[in-house]
Chains A and B, each alone.
Chain A
């Protein structure tokens, strides 16, 4: 079984918009959703449709996985990459990638994105956070005033 699996040379991922990515098996190791496909199929070439992930996002995820799967890269180089990777993203990129990470079942990438989003919203105002996640307040003005008073120190 193990010998058969290692005979798979290339995995083809098809994004929601139809764009196609050919990657080596070690790149998709983190993607549990993809991995479960591969384990079920007993073939030399595998083509996997990912209808919930757009091409642009998949390209970024693959870039991230390539960097982190590389044994030649130092820990510092990977950290530097992570920093730049997040820096060039907009807020909605981060949220989309978080959802893609969840769909692909990539635990460590999901935690990485969650941390990036937490860093963006920490110390921001309540209004900023509501806007960010498109949340409507369901408190009455009195309830909200009460809560703000209770947690006064957190607003300083």
Chain B
């Protein structure tokens, strides 16, 4: 490869690094120590995320997820990622560990947010946030106010998974990705629990 004598300043390198997709950013962690430290810096990462959210970053937006539920008729149930111009690349994904043994009634809630999907199991209090790219996952703990106990006639219904931009903006705490998860647990008494999570799913 050709060599040239341009060693650029850190602030200029920063303006370039802010525009990289996440995968490249993580890969370039081991370029040198100062970059690695930069990627640990909360200010840098907050700038990175706000850039990521506001710019039309393609790395996640051109991937669709398709869930084929497990029923008697479906020969190939599971979660697939679809990518490519015509979504012609279809890859079957392995469930994250909490669902590997029992994948009955799997569902995906809402949309993909910063590469994170929200998986749940029908009629069960099992909800997991999962980043299929990094394979990181987080099991959502049961309601802090009351541990749900499953009775036969009880039913859990999940209502949504979204990104709370306002909260994130106000919180000024961009290291933590502001995630907003609404779970409603319909007990006989009719009870709704809203989870608000600030989880750093992508280190």
Contact = CB atoms under 8 A, between A and B. Distances in A.
A2 interface: no
A118 B20 contact: yes
B194 interface: no
A102 B5 contact: no
Among A123, A135, A144, the most chain B Cβ lie within 10 Å of the Cβ of A135
A111 interface: yes
A104 to B, nearest CB: 13
Interface of B: 1-9, 11-13, 15-21, 23-24, 26-33, 36, 133-135
B30 A144 contact: yes
A125 to B, nearest CB: 8
A122 B19 CA distance: 9
Contacts of B9: 102
Interface of A: 90-92, 95-96, 98-99, 102, 110-111, 114-115, 117-119, 121-124, 126, 128-131, 133-139, 144, 147-148, 150-151, 153-155
A143 B31 CA distance: 11
Contact of B26 (A90, A134, A154): A154
Nearest to A115: B19
A114 B28 CA distance: 16
A124 B9 CA distance: 21
Contact of A110 (B6, B15, B29): B15
B97 to A, nearest CB: 16
B89 to A, nearest CB: 15
Contact of A134 (B5, B15, B16, B23): B5
A48 B57 CA distance: 39
